[in-house]
Amino acid sequence: MRAFTSRAIIATAGVLAALIAYAAAALAATAWTDGVPQQISEASAPLSEAQAPLRVTTWNIGYAGLGADADFFADGGRMLRPPSRAAVERNLAAIRATLGDIESDVIIMQEVAGPGLLTRNVDVLSGVRSALADRAMLFSVDTRTRLMPPWLRLRHGLGAFTRAALTGQRIARMPDEPRAILGLIRRRYHVQVTELDVSGRPWTIINLHLSAFDEGANTRLQQLRALFALAQTHHAQGRAVVLGGDWNLVLTETNFPHTSDDSALFWIHPFPREELPQGWRIVADPSTPSVRTNERPFHAGENYTTIIDGFIVSPNVEAADLRTRDLTFRFTDHQPVTAAFVRTD
């Protein structure tokens, strides 16, 4: 759900001053990327044919910087960076251990990051990659700097990790927010499209991370429409389609206890169910929250929590064994969601 917002920057004078300094340096170095996202693909181990059911996990790891001891300025908190490098390293160690326990054919992740400003120079991407070394990886960048000193770098994006043999993999652009923050910082929204055969039949898995703080969720709505147009094209080709990730929209009604002020919920919007194509279904675990607000460090029963992480599936897919793993937000502000999928046609 993390993204830069002019509203939060203006509201936080100290952070504003720091960001202006960063932006000035970035402008001088012509650092902010423009154009298509950077991609890195690699496979370090032989991959095997997938068999039904297909197990998929989605997890926004918050660049290992948003553990229980952190807040974030864009949510109304005070911190721009995590509390310490040691905190990022602890979070990353726990993320790696959890990934090692997840039994999924495909793991799609959001807010994976290289070393830089928001990770206190910890290489989160390499840490995650080493924990999933037996899988093929696609990493694509939505926010990146160039020609910057290490402490100012940004290299954040999406990661798809699969141990099933691939038949195709690419990225597809999504609508961007209309304005750059401070006139400089643009996030290049896109999705990762992974194609594979499961028990000899074609599937498409789409990894997404929608806009978070767009005014009135207008960009999110545009992204949803583009996303469903893409997904329906794949379905029309006879493929089973699973869309998963951080929707930044409430997927199912929740009422978890909290004491957060309404001002911390400015980014919360319900999923517009009228936008769902006919026969497509939301797959989300209603029993366990998948995200918490970051206007303050996490305390159970205080921070607002809800469900914005999960899946949407085409009419020829059913889900079983759906579970959000409750990690009590100790080392990420999102929690991993896993489901097993089968074709029904």
Nearest-Å Rg of the Cα atoms of the chain is: 19
Q: Which residues pair with 54 in a beta bridge?
A: 341
Asked whether residue 49 carries a pLDDT value surpassing 90, the answer given is no
Core vs surface per residue 31-50: b (16+ CB within 10 A) or e: bbbeeebbbeeeeeeeeeeb
CA distances from 262 to 70, 78, 324, 341 (A): 20, 17, 25, 37
Q: According to the model, what pLDDT value does residue 21 have?
A: 46
What are the b/e assignments for 189-203, b being 16+ CB within 10 Å?
A: bbbbbbbbebeeebb
Grade residue 153 by pLDDT with cuts at 50, 70 and 90. confident
CA count, 13 A, side-chain hemisphere, 186: 19
Q: What is the pLDDT of residue 151?
A: 81
143, 187 Cβ separation under 8 angstroms: yes
The pTM of the full predicted model, rounded to 2 decimals, is 0.90
Measured at the alpha carbon of residue 95, what is the angle toward residues 78 and 266, in degrees to the nearest 5?
Answer: 35
Cross-strand bridge partners of residue 155: 144
Question: Are 112 and 61 within 8 A, CB to CB?
Answer: yes
- Whether the pLDDT of residue 2 is over 60: the answer is no
Tens digits of residue pLDDT in 270-317: 999 999 999 999 999 999 999 999 999 999 999 999 999 999 999 999
Q: Which CATH architecture has domain 6-343?
A: 4-Layer Sandwich (3.60)
What mean pLDDT do residues 172-188 have? 79
Percent of the chain beyond pLDDT 70? 86
Distance (Å, rounded) from C-alpha 151 to C-alpha 115? 8
Q: Where are the domains of the chain?
A: 6-343
pLDDT tens by residue, 95-114: 999 999 999 999 999 999 99
Residue pLDDT, tens place only, 62-85:
999 999 999 999 899 999 999 999
pLDDT at 5 over 70: no
Measured in whole angstroms, how far is the alpha carbon of residue 88 from the centre of its chain? 18
Q: Name the amino acid, one letter, at 322.
A: L
Q: What are the distances in angstroms from CA 128 to CA 113, 132, 189, 203, 318? A: 9, 6, 22, 25, 29
Distances (CA, A) of 246 to 165, 192, 193, 211, 239: 25, 13, 15, 9, 23
Assess whether pLDDT exceeds 70 at residue 23.
no
Over residues 172-201, the mean pLDDT reads 86
Amino acid 1: pLDDT? 60
Residue 93 C-alpha from the chain's centroid? 19
Residues 191-242: tens digit of each pLDDT: 999 999 999 999 999 999 999 989 899 999 999 999 999 999 999 999 999 9
In this predicted structure, what is the pLDDT of residue 229?
98
The mean of the pLDDT values for the chain is 89
- DSSP lists the bridge partners of residue 148 as none
- Which band of pLDDT confidence, cut at 50, 70 and 90, is reported for residue 29? very low
Q: Give the confidence band of 181 by pLDDT, cuts at 50, 70, 90.
A: low
| Contact assessment for residue 109 and residue 57, using Cβ atoms and an 8 Å cutoff | no
Poorest-pLDDT segment among 51-65, 168-182, 207-221:
168-182
Tokens of 43: 């496979």
Query: What is the distance, to the nearest Å, from the Cα of residue 200 to the centroid of all Cα atoms in its chain?
Result: 29
**What's the pLDDT band for 185 if we cut at 50, 70, 90?**
low
For the chain, list the strands marked E by DSSP.
39-43, 54-60, 106-113, 136-144, 155-162, 166-173, 190-198, 201-209, 240-246, 281-283, 291-292, 305-306, 309-313, 317-324, 337-343
- Per-residue tokens: 115: 């070393």
- Positive or negative: CA dihedral 224, 230, 235, 236: positive
Q: Residues 6 or more apart from 144 whose CB is under 8 A from it?
A: 33, 37, 38, 154, 155, 156, 157
pLDDT at 76: 92
Q: Is the peptide bond before 270 cis (omega within 30 degrees of 0)?
A: no
